[in-house]
Amino acid sequence: MNRIERERHQDLSDVVDRQDILGPDGGAVVLATTTTLSVYPTIAGAFYAANPTEIDGAETEGTAATYSADTSQVIYVLNQGTQVPPIGTRVIAHGAGGRWVFRYDG
Does this model's pTM top 0.85? no
pLDDT tens profile 82-92: 999 999 999 99
Which CA distances in Å does 40 have to 20, 35, 36, 73?
36, 8, 5, 17
Q: What SS3 class is residue 45? A: coil
Residue 102 vs residue 5, higher pLDDT: 102
Q: What SS3 class is residue 19? A: coil
* Model pLDDT, residue 29: 93
Burial environment of residue 95 by CB neighbours within 10 A (0 to 12, 13 to 18, 19 or more): middle
CATH 2.20.25 fits 21-102, yes or no: no
Sequence ranges of the domains in the chain: 21-102
Which CA distances in Å does 52 have to 31, 36, 56, 81, 91?
6, 14, 13, 20, 10
